[in-house]
Amino acid sequence: MSRRSDAKPTMKLCDATLGELPDGVLTPSYDRSKLSPGLVHIGLGNFHRAHQAWYLHRLMQQGLALDWAIVGAGVKPYDEDQRLKLAAQDYMTTLIELSPEGRTAEVIGSMIDYVPIEPGNAQLIEQMAQPETRIVSLTVTEGGYYINPVTKGFDVTHPDIVFDTTHPTAPKTAFGAMVAALRLRRDAGVGPFTGLSCDNLQGNGTILRQAVVSLARLSDPDLANWIDANCSFPNSMVDCIVPATGPKERHLACTLGVNDVVPVTHENFRQWVIEDNFCAGRPDWDKAGATFTDNVHDFEAMKIRILNGGHQVIAGVGEVLSLSTIVDCMAHEKIANLFRKLAREEITPLVKAVPGMTPKTYVELIAERFSNPHIMDTTRRVAFDGSSRHPGFIIPSIRDGIAAGTPVDGLALVSAVWARMCEGTREDGTQIEPNDPFWDELQRTAKAAQNDPAVWLAQTQYYGDLAGQPRFAKAFEEWLRMIWVDGINAAVDTYLVS
φ, ψ dihedrals at 185, nearest 5°: -65, -45
Core vs surface per residue 387-418: b (16+ CB within 10 A) or e: bbbbbbbbbbbbbbbbeeebbbbbbbbbbbbb
Q: Are residues 355 and 492 in the same domain?
A: yes
Q: Are the CB atoms for 211 and 203 separated by under 8 Å? A: no
Q: Are residues 284 and 316 in the same domain?
A: no
**What pLDDT is stored for residue 150 in this prediction?**
75
CA atoms of 98 and 265, how far apart (whole Å): 7
Helix (H, G, I), strand (E, B) or coil at 11: strand
In a domain, 2, yes or no: no
Distance CA 15, CA 236 (A): 32
Q: Are 25 and 260 in contact (CB under 8 A)?
A: no
Give yes or no for a contact between 14 and 90, defined as CB atoms under 8 angstroms apart. yes
CA neighbor of 50 nearest in space, from 238, 319, 182: 238
* Residue 3 included in any domain: no
242 and 306 assigned to the same domain: no
Q: Give the HSE-up count for residue 159: Cα atoms under 13 Å, Cβ half-sphere.
A: 0
Task: Provide the residue range defining the domain that includes 22.
Answer: 11-294
Same domain, yes or no, for 342 and 429? yes
Residue 5 covered by a domain: no
Calpha distance 212→179 (Å, rounded): 6
Q: Residue 388: phi, psi to the nearest 5?
A: -100, -40
Over the stretch 149-198, which tens digit does the pLDDT of each residue have? Answer: 778 899 999 999 999 999 999 999 999 999 999 999 999 999 999 999 99
My answer on whether 83 and 231 are in the same domain is yes
Q: Helices (H), strands (E): how many in the chain?
A: 23, 14
Residues 20, 31 within the same domain = yes
pLDDT in tens, 258-286: 999 999 999 999 999 999 999 999 999 99
The whole-number pLDDT of residue 8 equals: 58
* In-domain check, residue 1: no
Q: Are residues 226 and 346 in the same domain?
A: no
Claim to verify: residue 204 and residue 91 sit in the same structural domain: yes
Nearest to 67 by CA among 28, 34, 93, 44: 34
Tell me: do 289 and 349 sit in the same domain: no
Secondary structure, 3-state, 140-170: CCHHHCCECCCCCCECCCCHHHHHHHHCCCC
Handedness of CA 145, 149, 155, 158 (dihedral sign): negative
Residue 11: per-residue pLDDT: 87
H or E segment and range at residue 310: helix 309-320
Its sign, for the CA torsion 417, 418, 423, 424, is positive
Residues 278 and 317 in one domain: no
Domain closes at, from 279, 294, 309: 294
Of 294, 321, 354, the last residue of a domain is 294
Same domain for 445 and 330?
Answer: yes
Q: Which of 294, 324, 359 is the last residue of a domain?
A: 294
Query: Is residue 6 domain-resident?
Result: no
pLDDT at position 4 is 40
Tell me how many domains the chain contains: 2
Q: How far apart are CA 177 and CA 174, in angstroms?
A: 5
Q: Please report how many Cα atoms fall inside a 13 Å half-sphere around the Cα of residue 251, on the Cβ side.
A: 3
Based on the fold, state whether residues 409 and 352 are members of the same structural domain.
yes
Rounded-to-10 torsion of CA 379, 383, 384, 387: 180
User: In the chain, which residues have pLDDT < 70?
Assistant: 1-9
Q: What share of the chain is helix, strand, coil (3-state, %, to 5)?
A: 50, 15, 35
Tell me, what CATH number does 352's domain have? 1.10.1040.10
Q: Answer yes or no: are the C-beta atoms of 439 and 422 closer than 8 Å.
A: yes
The per-residue pLDDT for 142 is: 85
Q: The domain spanning residue 290 has which CATH number?
A: 3.40.50.720
